[in-house]
């Protein structure tokens, strides 16, 4: 009975394993067709199409020998009638080689020298680890309305062996790709010697044409700069001057990038070695132009809304306006972050960095992400902290604060630092992370009124009542609207030591922007009154030498 039970369990396990593996075994590592390119006849006996790498090598060898009728056997021409395959195949093979030569960087590591294209060295987390392949993506190129792939498929006709050839979908896109990336009329007019290859598989005209493109773009940028300079000189209004100043540098970047982009798509169509570098640089140029335009326009709006160098933003009735200005500055930073993220994605997409630069292993392991995150941790922390300030409104542009004992006005809240203007006129630059981690006083956050404390050291036998009435009289002499609630006027003895007693004068101030100056003026009057009393023989201030005071 035990033996039968064990046998039954083994049979169930074997049946379950077969159910799992039979679907996988049913998928053959190739595409089956009845006939392959019957209009071309039999392929040459020495044409090796058994592996992806041998197929690409065969195309390059056939092109070098100008044997494109042989190269036609490297493509799936099933979309054409057999009577058309010979003529169309030779022309398409010539065009395909030119497209690959001009726009594709061949990744020989992905073109394995195995019929099944199994990558035995693939990492365990790779999507194709340990799997045979019947289709390989070689490159992706952009048409005007979409992106198309150049792909190799493994095809097995009923009367032959499986071979690797370019897929019928890729063949169908050759004409459209050639119209976009093939030789321009300018290149066709060039003599044959200028189309000869030089270093890095570049043609002579490309070596000459690239500096010409850069020079033309530079001249266009200089002309744009001169034009904007003349336009600014002829603009009389402040608004027009702000607009010209805001768009000048973004326009220069845009013109330079546009000229390079236009010349490299219509006049000079460069090879893949150059276009792979120019593509990301062109995208980066447009991103920089957009980023500068956003920054300059928002800065111009802020400058038009408020002049940070006068006191208009500090007025009590402008509390909501300070909040609005701070939100606009926060929106500016959010737009910059958004443009950088989108632009960075566009640049990486154009660069195809993980395929062209060989970073796939590094990216799959997550090491590149960790390196970039570690390098940018301080910058990202400051950016998030600056957004935190803008959202919680702990400090707004124009607020008066006391930071580390310094009375300051908040002038700017940047990505990585806060710009504070000390009452002496000195600008204090504080990293945002440090600013939000340190406690500070905000005198204009909620209520405008505050009480300034003036502390004077007096002798133990000094009569405080001699100052109380005088302090009230001095307060009455202040400018109308500067003094706060009169009920908050107080004179208190708040401490004492061996030298004497601490007398604190509580001065309510309605305007926090003038409170410090009012307190200084009041302190000066009280000290002057004390000196006048001492001249009359009334002891007021303690007598102590410097050694005792220390």
Structural contact between residues 423 and 407, judged by C-beta atoms closer than 8 angstroms:
yes
Beta-sheet strands, E only, within 414-487: 417-422, 427-431, 441-442, 450-458
Strand segments, DSSP code E, in 390-544 are 400-403, 406-413, 417-422, 427-431, 441-442, 450-458, 490-496, 501-509
434 neighbors 493 (Cβ within 8 angstroms):
no
* Confidence (pLDDT) at 89: 92
- Report whether 529 contacts 470 (CB < 8 A): yes
pLDDT at 520: 92
CB 165 within 8 A of CB 152: yes
> What's residue 93's pLDDT?
93
Structure confidence at residue 123 (pLDDT): 46
Rounded CA separation 501/60 (Å) = 98
pLDDT tens per residue across all 550 residues of the chain:
444 455 555 555 555 554 544 444 445 688 888 888 888 988 888 899 999 999 999 999 999 899 999 999 999 999 999 889 988 999 999 999 988 887 787 878 778 788 877 664 454 444 444 577 888 888 888 887 788 989 999 999 988 889 999 999 999 999 999 888 877 777 767 777 776 666 666 777 777 878 888 899 999 999 999 998 888 888 777 767 777 888 888 899 899 999 988 888 777 777 666 777 777 788 888 888 887 887 777 777 766 665 555 555 555 556 666 777 777 777 766 777 777 777 666 666 665 544 444 444 444 445 555 666 666 666 667 777 777 777 777 788 878 888 988 888 888 887 778 889 888 888 998 888 888 888 888 887 766 678 889 999 999 988 898 898 889 888 888 877 788 888 888 999 999 888 899 999 999 988 887 888 889 999 999 999 999 998 888 888 888 765 555 5
The pLDDT of residue 76 is: 92
Q: Give the CATH fold of the 450-549 domain.
A: Alpha-Beta Plaits (3.30.70)
Domain boundaries, the chain: 31-182, 189-305, 347-445, 450-549
Q: Give the number of C-alpha atoms closer than 13 A to the C-alpha of residue 276, restricted to the C-beta side.
A: 18
Looking at residue 547, its pLDDT comes to: 57
Q: What integer pLDDT is reported at residue 303 of this predicted model?
A: 66
Cα(442)–Cα(436) distance, integer angstroms: 13
Q: Does domain 347-445 have CATH number 3.30.1330.40?
A: no
Dihedral Cα 376, 379, 380, 386, nearest 10 deg: 180
CA 156 centroid distance within chain: 48
Three-state DSSP at 311 gives coil
Per 3-state DSSP, the chain is made up of helix, strand and coil in percentages (nearest 5) of 55, 15, 30
Q: 542: which residues sit within 8 A by CB, 6+ positions away? A: 457, 458, 459, 499, 500
Residue 260's nearest CA partner among 246, 277, 273 is 277
pLDDT of residue 507: 92
C-alpha–C-alpha distance, residues 461 and 309, integer Å: 49
Q: Provide the total of helices (H) and of strands (E) in the chain, helices listed first.
A: 19, 12
Q: 348 to each of 106, 281, 307, 462, 500, how far by Cα in Å?
A: 19, 10, 40, 77, 72
CB 413 within 8 A of CB 395: yes
Q: Hunting for tokens 């910058």 — which residue is that?
A: 379
Q: Which two tokens stand for residue 248?
A: 């000048």
- Pair of tokens at residue 289: 């132009």
Report residue 112 as tokens.
Answer: 């394995």
User: By C-alpha distance, which of 230, 171, 173 is closest to 37?
Assistant: 171
Nearest alpha carbon to residue 428 among 448, 445, 400, 408: 408
End-to-end CA distance of the chain: 101
- Distance CA(153)–CA(425), nearest Å, equals 72
Secondary structure (3-state) at 141: strand
| Cβ atoms < 10 Å from Cβ of 153 | 20
- pTM (predicted TM-score): 0.54
DSSP codes of every residue in 106-123 = --TTTS-SSTT---TT--
Q: State the sign of the Cα–Cα–Cα–Cα dihedral 361, 365, 371, 377.
A: positive
């Amino acid at each position: 009975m035990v033996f039968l039970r064990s046998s039954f369990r083994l049979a169930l396990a074997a049946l379950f394993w077969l159910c799992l593996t039979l679907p996988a075994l049913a998928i053959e590592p190739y595409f089956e067709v009845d006939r392959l390119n019957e209009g071309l006849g039999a392929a040459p006996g020495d044409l090796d199409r058994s592996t992806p790498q041998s197929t690409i090598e065969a195309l390059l060898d056939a092109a070098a020998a100008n044997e494109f009728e042989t190269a036609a056997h490297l493509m799936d021409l099933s979309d054409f009638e057999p009577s058309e395959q010979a003529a169309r195949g030779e022309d398409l093979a010539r065009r395909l080689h030119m497209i690959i030569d001009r726009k594709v960087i061949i990744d020989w590591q992905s073109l394995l020298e195995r019929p099944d294209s199994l990558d035995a060295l693939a990492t365990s987390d790779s999507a194709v680890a340990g799997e045979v392949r019947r289709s390989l993506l070689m490159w992706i190129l952009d048409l005007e309305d979409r992106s198309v792939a150049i792909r190799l498929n493994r095809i097995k006709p009923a009367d032959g062996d499986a071979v690797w050839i370019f897929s019928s979908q890729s063949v169908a896109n050759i004409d459209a790709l050639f119209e976009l990336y093939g030789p321009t009329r300018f290149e066709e007019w060039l003599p044959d010697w200028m189309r000869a290859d030089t270093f890095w598989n570049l043609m002579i005209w490309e070596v000459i044409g690239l500096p010409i493109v850069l020079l033309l773009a530079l001249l266009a940028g200089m002309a744009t700069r001169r034009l904007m300079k003349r336009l600014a000189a002829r603009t009389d209004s402040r608004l027009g001057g702000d607009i010209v100043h805001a768009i000048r540098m973004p326009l220069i970047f845009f013109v330079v990038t546009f000229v390079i982009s236009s010349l490299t798509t219509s006049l000079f169509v460069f090879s893949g070695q150059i276009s792979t570098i120019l593509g990301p640089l062109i995208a980066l140029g447009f991103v920089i132009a957009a980023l500068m335009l956003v920054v300059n326009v928002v800065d111009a709006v802020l400058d038009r809304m408020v002049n940070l160098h006068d006191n208009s933003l500090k007025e009590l009735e402008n509390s909501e306006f300070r909040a609005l200005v701070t939100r606009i500055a926060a929106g500016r930073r959010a737009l910059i972050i958004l443009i950088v993220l989108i632009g960075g994605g566009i640049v990486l997409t154009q660069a195809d960095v993980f395929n062209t630069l060989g970073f796939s292993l590094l990216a799959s392991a997550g090491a590149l992400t960790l390196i970039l995150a570690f390098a940018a941790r301080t910058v990202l922390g400051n950016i998030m902290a600056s957004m935190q300030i803008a959202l919680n409104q702990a400090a707004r542009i124009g607020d008066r604060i006391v930071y580390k004992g310094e009375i300051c006005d908040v002038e700017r809240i940047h990505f990585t630092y806060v710009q504070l203007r000390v009452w002496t006129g000195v600008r204090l630059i504080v990293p945002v992370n440090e600013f939000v981690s340190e406690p500070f006083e905000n005198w204009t956050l909620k209520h405008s009124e505050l009480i300034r404390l003036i502390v004077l050291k007096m002798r133990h036998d000094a009569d405080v009542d001699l100052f109380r009435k005088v302090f009230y009289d001095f307060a009455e002499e202040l400018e109308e609207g500067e003094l706060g609630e009169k009920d908050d006027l107080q004179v208190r003895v708040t401490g004492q030591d061996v030298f004497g007693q601490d007398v604190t004068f509580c001065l309510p101030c309605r305007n926090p922007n003038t409170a410090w100056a009012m307190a200084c003026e009041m302190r000066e009057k009280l000290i002057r009154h004390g000196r006048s009393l001492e001249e009359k023989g009334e002891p007021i201030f303690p007598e102590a030498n410097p050694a005792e005071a220390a």
